[in-house]
Amino acid sequence: MNLETNRTNYQRDELNESSIGDDPIVVLRAWLDIAAAQAVPEPNAMCLSTVGADGQPSSRIVLLRGLDDRGLRFFTSYGSRKGRDIAHNKHVAVTFYWNALERQVRVEGVASLLTEAESDAYFASRPRGHQLGAWASEQSESIEERAMLQERKQHFNERFEGEEVPRPHSWGGYCIEPDRIEFWQGRPDRLHDRLVFSRDADAWHRERLQP
């Protein structure tokens, strides 16, 4: 592809103060529902950015598994790079991008561990193969060859044969309590709409940013 000439003139929709309302969680939920209704693949995929103890930011995709007034929930391995980063620095950022809708959402906030009961409940809802995968993989650690992962999965399959697979203590969820949420809608001639909500004590304050 030609990186210099490839461009889109966004013109699908617009973002108005009058219609967006006062609650960014309600808006994010509506945008997710619209993305799903329009058959966007994995609309709940989001880019999660963390910062390590050495100040190095890093980003990766995770799946949003819950959204309410407390915040955004996702699940992972606590010993992974992201888990280690969050243990050191609880400030994280999340980005959604739905190309078909010409929309982006940026969230900034503070991550905290879900309760053991919440992580247990979600883990129990996962397919058995995924549960065994969580036991088999020490996420973000190096491994010599893929075959070792399959062997480990088989080992845990036998260990938990005939019983429910329990949640490994090293695996569970986080809730990101947002303090800033920005909604972006692509507009013609790069004059995009940007409405940002910032948490001010217990209320959300809204302003428009230049594109």
Ligand X SMILES: Cc1cc2nc3c(=O)[nH]c(=O)nc-3n(C[C@H](O)[C@H](O)[C@H](O)COP(=O)(O)O)c2cc1C
What are the residues binding ligand X (CB under 6 A)?
42, 45, 58, 60-63, 74-76, 80-82, 139-140
CA 67 from centre of chain: 10
Residue closer to ligand X by CB (options 112, 198) is 112
What tokens were used for 20?
């967006």
The CB-of-92 to ligand X minimum distance in angstroms stands at 12
Distance (Å, rounded) from C-alpha 116 to C-alpha 122? Answer: 10
The CB-of-140 to ligand X minimum distance in angstroms stands at 4
Of the residues 29, 128, 159, 190, which is catalytic? 190
Residue closer to ligand X by CB (options 119, 185) is 119
Any residues with CB less than 8 A from the CB of 130 and at least 6 apart, and which?
A: none
Distance (Å, rounded) from C-alpha 21 to C-alpha 2? Answer: 40
What tokens were used for 80?
């992974």
**Catalytic residue flag (residue 190):** yes
DSSP string covering 177-198: EEEEEEEEE--GGG--EEEEEE
The CB-of-75 to ligand X minimum distance in angstroms stands at 6
The CB-of-122 to ligand X minimum distance in angstroms stands at 11
Tell me the residue ranges of DSSP E strands in the chain.
45-51, 57-63, 66-68, 71-77, 91-98, 103-113, 171-185, 193-200, 203-208
Any idea which residues carry the catalytic annotation?
190
